[in-house]
Structure 1
Amino acid sequence: MSGSPVRPIRLLVVDDDPLVRSALALMLGGQPDLELAGEAAHGREALDLTATLRPDVVLMDIRMPVLNGLDATRELHARPDPPHVIVLTTFDADEHVLAALAAGADGFLLKDTAPAQILAAIRAVAAGDPMLSPSVTRTLMERFRTGATTDRATHARRRLDLLTPREREVAMAVGAGLSNAEIARSLYLSVPTVKAHVSRLFEKLGTTNRVQIAICVHDARAL
């Protein structure tokens, strides 16, 4: 007896450029596990549509009229059971990356990212794993290698001191960019147990996504 069919990942595309929305819709249309639930031209429309359409993942531009993507992401993240957000933009400046992650985004990709990588990012984020484009990851990690202040590093170390030894192992694995499945294999845990540990990390570290856990880990190592 076969199980119930897996529900496709519901997506909301948010961009003020109709050509970008059309291109993304065309790319998503041929994927059997993805469903384009709707499109929005600015952040305020995205907030309204999210409430009615209940997407699993929102592809969010940054620079838009009425309400920009960073403020929209922040408002979405403050709601109960928010969708995952991937910021998809032409700008990879440090301040945009950091602002997006601080707002609660689960991913940050450039618009020139290959379609296959965008699709992989959507699936990864929907499964609970963060996704940054390689160039953004390099820029971000270099910033923390060279720019972490002693105060920030000390604060991060104190936050990690709140963790149990096992939680610290999971945090370090998240900081290394491992997925839940990879952490489970490396630490000989079940995936549900890893997810439970990650949830406790959010609470203890005061973080809202896995990328923020990774930043805390990298800050602590700067000491």
Structure 2
Amino acid sequence: MSEPVSPGAPSRIRVALVEDDVLFQNALTVAIGASDDIELAHLAANRAQGLRMLATGRADVLLVDLGLPDGTGIDVIRAAHALWPDCAIMVCTTFGDEAHVLQSIEAGASGYLLKDSAPNDLLHEIRVLQQGGSPISPLIARQILTRFRAPPATASAAPPAVAAAAPSAASPASEDDAVLSTRELEVLRLITKGFTADEIAQLVNVSGHTVRTYVRRIYGKLKVKSKSEAILEARSQGLIGN
């Protein structure tokens, strides 16, 4: 079921909610009703209603629960990503496992929150999402960071004579390849997932200035001038996957 709400001022953020938990629905509806810049444009209580809702109008922000009574909210995310390309999508669920997180991001979600936030805090995250941010619960952020962090290099057990000869054994071809540090690879992988410098700073627990320094080093080592060039060059060198 979709419940259009009378249009407000153009500056108001139109929210669509796909959620079967009545208590959560009511709490968020009350919070939105008390806000000056957000309105509830559509409401669906299950997967089927959510999919039908996508054909009835539009929204600026879509909030989706994953555990719906008739299927997964990921189907709604995938369809919304195709039908509402300008809509920012955020998961709000109790599922915090890696499989659900990755499937949601791959389907088109830009944010992922666990249901442990107060309604007013959720309104703040809606505003952040609308402004281009990617709100992520700390637990989920740690999972993403762990997933894309490069494994630590293991020490070689080569005999001393071989180790001593290693510096002079590099071929001209290997000298052309960029040698990124573990942290630089970590930042590059997060860049490929669409995270901004400030969002990466939160994920890796450094300042935004430090992240931008890593980005400049990455560009310099890869001999590129843009994010898209960096991703293409890193993939051509086998530094990151396709």
TM-score of the pair, normalised by structure 2: 0.59
Change (3 A) 1:8 1:178: farther
SS where residue 23 of structure 1 aligns? helix
1:1-223 correspondence to structure 2 within 5 Å: 6-79=10-83, 81-145=85-149, 171=191, 174=196, 177=199
Q: Secondary structure at the match of 1:131?
A: coil
Evaluate the alpha carbon distance shift between residue 115 and residue 21 of structure 1 in structure 2; reply closer, same or farther with a 3 A threshold.
closer
Q: Secondary structure at the match of 1:52?
A: coil
Q: Flag structure 1 segments of 5+ consecutive residues without an equivalent.
A: 149-156, 159-167, 188-199, 207-215
Q: Relative to structure 1, is the Cα distance of residues 85 and 24 closer, same or farther in structure 2, using a 3 angstrom cutoff?
A: same
Shift of 1:115: 3.0
The structural deviation recorded for 1:51 is: 2.5
Shift of 1:11: 0.6
Q: 1:138 to 1:39 in 2, by over 3 A?
A: same
**2:112–2:135 CA contact under 8 A, matched in 1:** yes
- Please report how far the alpha carbon of residue 65 of structure 1 lies from its aligned counterpart in structure 2 after TM superposition: 2.7
Render the CA deviation track for 1:39-78: whole Å, top value 9, x for unaligned. Answer: 1011221222233231111110001133421111011112
TM-score (norm 1): 0.64
Higher RCO (C-alpha under 8 Å, 6+ residues apart): 1
Once the two structures are TM-superposed, the CA of residue 221 in structure 1 deviates from its matched residue by 7.9
8 Å Cα contact 2:18-2:63 kept in structure 1: yes
* Secondary structure class of the residue paired with 1:53: coil
Q: CA RMSD in A?
A: 3.8
What is the CA–CA distance in structure 2 between the aligned matches of 1:11 and 1:116, rounded to whole Å? 14
Displacement of 1:106 in angstroms is 1.0
Q: Given the superposition, is the C-alpha separation of residues 82 and 108 from structure 1 closer, same or farther in structure 2, using an over 3 Å criterion?
A: same
Structure number with the higher helix fraction is 1
- 1:197 matched residue in structure 2: none
SS at match of 1:51: coil
Aligned residues: 173
- State the AA in 2 paired with 1:177: E
Structure 2's unaligned 5+ residue stretches are 1-8, 153-176, 179-187, 202-207, 214-225
Closer, same or farther in 2 for the Cα pair 1:202/1:86, shift >3 Å? farther
Identity of aligned residues (%): 33
Mapped to 2, the partners of 1:69 and 1:203 lie a distance apart of 34
Deviation at 1:9, TM superposition (A): 0.2
